[in-house]
Chains A and B, each alone.
Chain A
Amino acid sequence: MSGVLPVAIANYISLSAIIFFIGVAGVLLRRNPLIMLMSIELMWNAANLLFLAFARVWLNNAGHVFAFLVITVAAAEAAIGLAIVVTVFRSAQNVDVDEVRTLHG
């Protein structure tokens, strides 16, 4: 038995790249920090998709383990990011990333 995918791996790579760059566009173009955090989640997920596609092609579940690690890191990042948003809102009553510029100098 082989590990041949029903769909060529290039399709998975392209799809992952498209989702990743949609996430990049979200981070760069939006100024709502919550939507920026969600765009970061999109980027994590694009990386995960690639991990699992390559794990499937090579039939090696190291990709699964590292996708698991990525999911954990994404959860930790979301928790800390949202805590920062709440803290900033508590001190500034405003979470517009263009308005919050105290550390900008």
Chain B
Amino acid sequence: MAWRDFENAAPGAGWMIAFWILAIVLIASAMWVISASKPVYSVVGLLVHFTALAFMFITLSAEFLAAIQIIVYSGAILVLFLFVIALLSSGVAPFSAGPNRLPKIGIPAVALILIALGATVYATAHVSLQTPAVISTSGARMLSTVGFAGEADVFGSVADFGKALFTVHLLPFEITAFILMVAVIGVILLAGDQTPYVASRKRAVAVQRELREAILRGGEE
């Protein structure tokens, strides 16, 4: 019995229980993220959130994206957050505790959020989405097949995802590369060496000397 046998059977209660447990964990950890007193605690909450979301992706047959979720978010982005927290927390305490000082904005904002949330939940409870059976009889094309985990070409597998990524959806993939390049250049410009770029080495030495003298003059004032 494969772990993904709900494809062939009636929707099982096990998946529903998994969904509700994961939903509770997701909401609780998200609340923890925005209400924690220190950013480090928020990072821990975010770690729980991302991991639960990866499990949620597995229940949606998105195995490759579950792995990506763990690797990119839990592995890269959270470590980046931890580095910045460690960097900014050394010596001084730049973070002020407590909530925002703007209750005038905060209270209407929360009211608006609750109204929008209620409207969304109400709308989704009353919307009648077409079922895939209806879609398939109306002639829409299903791009992938459903099958057991571990088989090569089932929906959501690495092979299936890779085929889509490099054939039909090649443009989004290339845009991804461009976005990453923009991010790298932007981060280097923002957080890198503060010395201005100059073309010639002789001129660079002069600019550096001027900068040093300016800093010294600034210190004397």
A24 vs B87: C-alpha distance in the bound complex, in angstroms? Answer: 26
Q: Evaluate whether A4 and B124 lie within 8 angstroms (CB atoms) in the complex, with A22-B27, A56-B61 already known.
A: no
Give chain B's interface residue range (CB within 8 Å of chain A).
35 or more
Q: Which of B176-184, B195-203, B204-212, B213-221 contacts A (4 or more CB under 8 A)?
A: B176-184
Nearest-Cβ distance from residue A26 to partner chain B, whole angstroms: 3
**Judging by beta carbons under 8 Å apart, are A95 and B77 in contact?**
no
A105 at the interface (CB under 8 A from B): no
A35 vs B155: C-alpha distance in the bound complex, in angstroms? Answer: 36
- Residues of the A chain whose Cβ atoms lie less than 8 Å from the Cβ of B152: none
Q: Evaluate whether A62 and B179 lie within 8 angstroms (CB atoms) in the complex, with A4-B132, A7-B19, A95-B88 already known.
A: no
Most-contacted residue by chain A among B30, B64, B73, B100 (CB, 10 A): B30
- Residues of the B chain whose Cβ atoms lie less than 8 Å from the Cβ of A82: 80-81, 84
- Residues of the B chain whose Cβ atoms lie less than 8 Å from the Cβ of A4: 11, 131-133
Give the A-B pair count, Cβ closer than 8 A.
Answer: 261
A3 vs B135: C-alpha distance in the bound complex, in angstroms? Answer: 10
Nearest-Cβ distance from residue A45 to partner chain B, whole angstroms: 6
Question: For window 103-139 of chain B, which residues contact chain A by CB distance below 8 Å?
Answer: 105-106, 109-110, 113, 116-117, 120-121, 124-125, 127, 129, 131-133, 135-136
- Residues of the A chain whose Cβ atoms lie less than 8 Å from the Cβ of B168: 62
**Judging by beta carbons under 8 Å apart, are B113 and A61 in contact?**
no
A24 vs B23: C-alpha distance in the bound complex, in angstroms? Answer: 18
Give chain A's interface residue range (CB within 8 Å of chain B).
35 or more
- Residues of the B chain whose Cβ atoms lie less than 8 Å from the Cβ of A59: 132, 142-144, 146, 155
- Residues of the B chain whose Cβ atoms lie less than 8 Å from the Cβ of A103: none
A82 vs B78: C-alpha distance in the bound complex, in angstroms? Answer: 11
- Residues of the B chain whose Cβ atoms lie less than 8 Å from the Cβ of A49: 53, 56-57
Nearest-Cβ distance from residue B71 to partner chain A, whole angstroms: 10
- Residues of the B chain whose Cβ atoms lie less than 8 Å from the Cβ of A19: 26-27, 30
Q: Evaluate whether A71 and B190 lie within 8 angstroms (CB atoms) in the complex, with A85-B88, A96-B94 already known.
A: no
A6 vs B169: C-alpha distance in the bound complex, in angstroms? Answer: 28
- Residues of the B chain whose Cβ atoms lie less than 8 Å from the Cβ of A67: 62, 65
B1 at the interface (CB under 8 A from A): no
